[in-house]
Amino acid sequence: MSNEYMDLSKNNQSSVTSNQHSNFITDMKALVKSGVLIANALPVFAGFWLAIHFTGVSFFDHWGSFLLVMAGSTLVMAGALILNNWYDSDIDTVMDRTRHRPTVTGNFSLKAVLRMGIGATLAGFILLLFTTWEAVLYTFIGWFTYVVLYTMWSKRRYTLNTVIGSISGAVTPMIGWAAIDSAIHIVPLTLFLLLFIWQIPHTFAIAVRKFDEYKAAGVKMLPVVHGIDMTKRQMVVYVAALLPLPFLLPALGPLFMVIVTILNAGWLVLSFRGLFTGEHKKWAYWNFLYSANYLTIVFFLAIIVTLPAFH
């Protein structure tokens, strides 16, 4: 009996430990917004890869810079996202989509979250100091825009918070490129513009889907303040603004230009349909899915068409 009891006790302890580890990982993923973090890391990688391609240098001669810029920028972005969770803990309790975050559940104290956010940010910038000043500059612009101008200043005050916040994600390809060469180049600048424009209708789609939650939390999103119909009209305008961008990137080849143009046209049609439907949330859901996949396809495609096999 005693041996059976000991075995049962060990199994229970093992199960509790496993659950604790699982819960910690889940909390950390929520704290750094893992999906958002990955979506921002991809353009950094793409920017670095494209800089290698267009400058004609060897990747193997710059693998150290690659590791530093990827690790450094990811840590800074994680720090910014953690600080966003720390600052928004009050409104996160109101919104269903954010109630699972450890700042709401109490699994992490706000002091601990603040320390993690600052620590990740500082660690990231220390690593980036071993790359180039330009990479550090673009990373700082992204961090400052997201944490200070978006999270702390405009999010609860102005509908322009979406436009302001879009700058932070748009600098990501320039960070990767700047680790190799100056990002004052048509390719990273166009990718900056593409990301900047893309984020606005993408965020509008989220805001329409979660209209009731944003309204309850008092967040000044466009559909909450000026209505869903105006938001739909603005989405059409922003998606239409993406149409000329592939033609600024002939250096990426005709395949890239054709596919991205088709993607832009498809998104424009989907956005335009919103003007004639009353099923706002269903329409916004499909726009959200389309825009999320759009970003992944565009940046993976930019990497693929510059692989040696394509030249």
pLDDT in tens, the chain (311 residues): 555 555 545 555 555 555 656 688 888 888 888 889 999 999 999 999 999 999 999 999 999 999 999 999 999 999 999 999 999 888 888 887 777 888 888 888 999 999 999 999 999 999 999 999 999 999 999 999 999 999 999 998 999 999 999 999 999 999 999 999 999 999 999 999 999 999 999 999 999 999 888 888 888 999 999 999 999 999 999 999 999 999 999 999 999 999 999 999 999 999 999 899 888 999 999 999 999 999 999 999 999 999 975 55
Q: Which CATH architecture has domain 34-310?
A: Orthogonal Bundle (1.10)
**What span, in angstroms and rounded, lies between the C-alpha atoms of 251 and 22?**
46
For the chain, the first-to-last Cα distance in angstroms comes to 72
**Predicted TM-score of the model (pTM):** 0.90
Helix axes 228-240, 186-209, angle to 10 degrees: 160
Contact 142/176 with Cβ under 8 angstroms?
no
Q: Based on the number of CB atoms within 10 Å of its own CB, is 146 exposed (0-12), middle (13-18) or buried (19 or more)?
A: buried
In the numeric block, the tokens 């920017």 are attached to 47
**What span, in angstroms and rounded, lies between the C-alpha atoms of 64 and 262?**
37
**What span, in angstroms and rounded, lies between the C-alpha atoms of 101 and 23?**
11
Structural domain spans, the chain: 34-310
Q: Based on the number of CB atoms within 10 Å of its own CB, is 174 exposed (0-12), middle (13-18) or buried (19 or more)?
A: buried
Burial 232-271 (b: 16+ CB within 10 A, else e): bebbbebbbbbeebbebbebbeeebbeebbebbeebbebb
Which are the contacts of 154, defined by CB distance < 8 A and separation ≥ 6?
Answer: 160, 161, 164, 165
Contact 90/218 with Cβ under 8 angstroms?
no
DSSP type of residue 132: -
